[in-house]
Amino acid sequence: MPVVVRFEPAHVNFLIAGDERYFLFRSDAQGLLLLKDACPHRGGPLHLGAWETHPAAKLRCPWHGNAIPLRPLERAACPMVLREGQATAVLPSGETAPVFMQRRPILAACGAALAGAATSSTAMKGGGP
Ligand code: FES
């Protein structure tokens, strides 16, 4: 069952809902995307991947080096709306598990605004405020 979460991207860039992890990724074409933090190969932490633009935009997984093109990443992004500094997103799972919100270094981010030291962690019950 999907769960709706609300958070401020200026302070939160990483979500954990049960066994699933999500991170904010800045796409030049699409703006902020909320992506599942699991490589399709064997679940590697994509937020620690390397963003490459040549010859085509892709995210390289830190575990085995597979490259994931931008288009599939965009298509797999969680639905999210940004308004007045607030993000409202729909996670595909996490109905009963608390959703932990954190700020972590996002090495895969194109924008420097999302990269930074981990500073906080909060939790809220699934379903959002
Ligand atoms: S887990 Fe990502 S390339 Fe293997």
What number does the ligand 1 atom closest to the CA of 62 have? 2
In a domain, 128, yes or no: no
The identity of residue 72, as a single letter, is P
In a domain, 113, yes or no: yes
Q: What is the CATH number of the domain that holds 72?
A: 2.102.10.10
Tokens of 86: 């607030």
Number of domains in the chain: 1
pTM of the model: 0.83
In a domain, 109, yes or no: yes
In a domain, 92, yes or no: yes
In a domain, 20, yes or no: yes
The number of angstroms, rounded, from the C-alpha of 37 to the middle of its chain's C-alpha atoms is 6
Q: For position 27, what pLDDT does the model report?
A: 77
**Domain that includes residue 22, residue range:** 3-123
**What pLDDT digit, counting tens, does each position of 58-80 carry?**
999 999 999 999 889 889 999 99
Nearest Cα to Cα of residue 104 among 52, 48, 28, 62: 48
Cα–ligand 1 centroid distance for 64 (angstroms):
5
Pocket of ligand 1 (CB under 6 A): 39, 41-44, 61, 63-66
Question: Candidates 42, 48, 52, 68: which one to mutate for ligand 1, based on the most atoms within 8 Å of Cβ?
Answer: 42
Q: Which residues partner with 22 through β-bridges?
A: 15, 36
**What pLDDT digit, counting tens, does each position of 76-109 carry?**
999 999 999 999 999 997 667 899 999 999 887 6
In a domain, 129, yes or no: no
Whether 34 shows a pLDDT value over 70: the answer reads yes
